[in-house]
């Protein structure tokens, strides 16, 4: 479980996050949504400890992350897997070496066990047999999959995904979404996904937090997102002409 | 103010290198990779620079020594001493600042803007320790060896050109070089080599580590790494000469 308690972040004079509080439960996919510039990425960086908040707490289990010493933080970080927007694969390593890297760095497995784990992770993301490919030979979707394989290599308790669908075609996006959801449920991971893709939200989101200008204006489940009174969320959800049309038809039908 | 801000941040970054490695084997592997890249990868350019520096020094020294009563062995003494004191350590380091400095800054800078450094930190890895530590250590281990090679080739280049062009017979050249050799000069030269190695690698790593933005900024950081490393080498060269000679 991860809990945000009254988190505030400022850059110089500008407050980009205003007193955010939320709770993310294990075995659920938690979506942080909002338009560009709403503070999603800053919040994600605070959650994983890359930025420290100016106020408030980020609690992992029972520990306030920013109160921990370096060793404590490292221990929690070993339980974190992260999929980056651009995958952030290590350019100098091939697919196998990328997934192997966290295992070699931290696990106490034998070399053979490590390789078995690498092959299992690659198989799990549908990339069995791609071990020796260089990262420059991968498509956008494959890079994301390798990123996921690397993120789950150490069997994390927490999985963070920053814009997992950016730059992907709709079909590949759905596959990546399904993969994130399956992995979350299989291992009871606490997953937090940063996205502005409403397809993803409706596909895999169990718990949704809507950020608007650094404020958490709405939290709830996807079942309630369509009939919310929050105007800013409505504007965000029904931003496309296609969805506006659906809502119009739906309202007409109801009337 | 600007200078002290960067100096402080540079020192704080260096402090982060002295943390226990998460996995000694991986750090050692990275050190060997860097030693190969910095050391073996620079042999070619160092050879060319050294041989031609020595050759030019021989020709120009002979040109300036027009008095017939001066022994030609002096050319050997001047070329070997210049190679040992200045051409070997300083000129080689300035060239390496261009080659290695830009490479280190652009490699680390690219890792920064593509979030690879963030990925390391989120994994719980001490990113400066893993990325910068092996590079500095590799530079400290290999650049002094490259400078020894440079000094040798510079002197040899001068000697060969002296012999081939008839400026100074090789026996006289060697006689002059031997007569002027002082062990202390070798110590001074190696002190410079170690100092310059540290400056090139650490300044370049600093420039790359704090890049913000995209590919344009990585290019700028790479250029700044070369400029600041070169200036630092020249300043340190003067300070060491003042202190040790």
Nearest to A106 among B22, B115, B122 (CB): B22
In sequence order, the 6+-apart residues with CB closer than 8 A to the CB of B64 are none
Q: Which residues of B touch A82 (CB under 8 A)?
A: 119, 122
Pairing of strands A29-33, A55-60: unpaired
DSSP-derived letter for residue B189 is H
For residue range A51-109, list pLDDT tens digits in order.
999 999 999 988 999 999 988 998 899 899 999 988 899 998 999 999 999 999 998 89
Q: Are A45 and A51 within 8 A, CB to CB? A: yes
Nearest chain B residue to A71 by CA distance is B124
Hey, which residues 93-152 in chain A have their CB within 8 Å of chain B?
102, 104-106
Q: Are B47 and B148 within 8 A, CB to CB? A: no
Ordered DSSP codes for A5-31: EEEEEEETTEEEEEEEEEEE-TT-EEE
For residue range B91-113, list pLDDT tens digits in order.
999 999 999 999 999 999 999 99
Q: On the CB side of B70, how many CA atoms lie within 13 Å of its CA?
A: 15
For residue range A103-148, list pLDDT tens digits in order.
999 988 999 999 999 999 999 999 998 999 999 999 988 999 999 9
Indicate the SS3 state at residue A73: helix
Q: Are A122 and A149 within 8 A, CB to CB? A: yes
CA A149 to chain centre: 14
Give the gap in angstroms from C-alpha A72 to the nearest C-alpha of chain B: 10
Copy the structure tokens of residue B177: 């070089």
Residue A90 to residue B116, Cβ atoms within 8 A: yes
In sequence order, the 6+-apart residues with CB closer than 8 A to the CB of A71 are none
From the list B112, B133, B98, the residue with the least C-alpha distance to B231 is B98
Nearest to A84 among B23, B25, B119 (CB): B119
Nearest chain B residue to A79 by CA distance is B123
Residue A91 to residue B23, Cβ atoms within 8 A: no
Q: What is the pLDDT of residue A255?
A: 47
Q: What is the pLDDT of residue A234?
A: 83
Question: B185 falls in which pLDDT band (50, 70, 90)?
Answer: very high
Q: Which residues pair with A83 in a beta bridge?
A: A161
Give the gap in angstroms from C-alpha A220 to the nearest C-alpha of chain B: 28
Pairing of strands A63-64, A80-83: unpaired
- With 90 as the cut, is the pLDDT of residue B68 above it? no
Angle between helices A111-124 and A140-152 (to 10 degrees): 130
> Residue A64 to residues A24, A47, A57, A76, A193: CA-CA distances in angstroms?
15, 11, 6, 11, 21
Single pTM value for the model: 0.88
Name the one residue in this structure whose structure tokens are 């592997």: B29
Nearest to B22 among A50, A76, A105 (CB): A105
Q: Which residues of B touch A85 (CB under 8 A)?
A: 115
Best mutation target among B124, B128, B131, B208 (most A Cβ atoms within 10 Å) is: B124
Instruction: State whether the Cα torsion A202-A205-A211-A215 is positive or negative.
Output: positive
Name the one residue in this structure whose structure tokens are 């091939």: A94
Residue A105 to residue B23, Cβ atoms within 8 A: yes
Interface residue A164 vs chain B (CB under 8 A) = no
């Amino acid at each position: 479980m991860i809990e945000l308690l009254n988190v505030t972040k400022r850059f110089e004079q500008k407050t980009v996050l205003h007193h955010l509080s939320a709770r993310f439960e294990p075995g659920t996919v938690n979506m942080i949504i909002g338009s560009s510039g709403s503070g999603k990425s800053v919040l994600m960086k605070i959650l994983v400890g890359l930025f420290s908040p100016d106020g408030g707490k980020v609690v992992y289990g029972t520990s306030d992350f920013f109160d921990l010493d370096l060793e404590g933080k490292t221990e929690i970080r070993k339980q974190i897997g992260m999929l980056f927007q651009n995958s952030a694969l290590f350019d100098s390593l091939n697919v196998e070496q990328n997934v192997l890297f966290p295992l070699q760095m931290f696990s106490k497995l034998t070399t053979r066990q490590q390789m078995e784990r690498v092959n299992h992770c690659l198989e799990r993301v549908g990339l069995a047999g791609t071990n020796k490919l260089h990262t420059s030979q991968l498509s956008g979707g494959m890079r994301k999959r390798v990123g996921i394989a690397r993120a789950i290599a150490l069997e994390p308790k927490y999985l963070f995904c920053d814009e997992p669908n950016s730059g992907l075609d709709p079909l590949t996006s759905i596959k990546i979404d399904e993969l994130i959801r399956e992995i979350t449920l299989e291992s009871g991971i606490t997953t937090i996904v940063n996205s502005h893709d409403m397809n993803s939200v409706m596909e895999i989101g169990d718990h949704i937090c809507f950020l608007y200008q650094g404020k958490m204006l709405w939290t709830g489940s996807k079942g309630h997102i369509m009939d919310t009174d929050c105007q800013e969320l409505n504007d965000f959800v029904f931003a496309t002409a296609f969805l506006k049309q659906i809502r119009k038809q739906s309202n007409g039908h109801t009337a | 103010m600007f200078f002290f801000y960067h100096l402080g941040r540079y020192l704080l970054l260096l402090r982060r290198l002295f943390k226990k490695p998460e996995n000694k084997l991986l750090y050692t592997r990275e050190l060997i990779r860097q030693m190969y890249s910095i050391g073996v990868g620079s042999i070619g350019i160092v050879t060319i620079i050294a041989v031609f520096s020595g050759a030019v020094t021989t020709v120009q020294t002979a040109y300036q020594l027009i008095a017939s009563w001066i022994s030609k062995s002096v050319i050997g003494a001047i070329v070997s001493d210049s190679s040992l004191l200045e051409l070997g350590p300083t000129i080689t380091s300035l060239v390496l600042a261009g080659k290695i400095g830009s490479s280190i800054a652009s490699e680390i800078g690219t890792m920064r803007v593509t979030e690879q450094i963030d990925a390391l930190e989120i994994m719980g890895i001490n990113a400066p320790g893993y990325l910068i530590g092996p590079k500095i250590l590799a530079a400290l281990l290999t650049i002094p060896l490259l400078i020894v090679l440079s000094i040798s080739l510079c002197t040899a280049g001068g000697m060969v050109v002296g012999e081939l062009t008839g400026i100074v017979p090789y026996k006289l050249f060697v006689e002059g070089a031997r007569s002027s050799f002082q062990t202390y000069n070798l110590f001074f030269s190696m002190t410079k080599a170690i100092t310059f190695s540290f400056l090139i690698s650490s300044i370049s790593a600093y420039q790359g580590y704090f890049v913000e933005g995209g590919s344009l900024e990585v290019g700028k950081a790479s250029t700044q790494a070369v400029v600041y490393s070169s200036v630092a080498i020249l300043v340190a060269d003067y300070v060491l000469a003042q202190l040790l000679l």
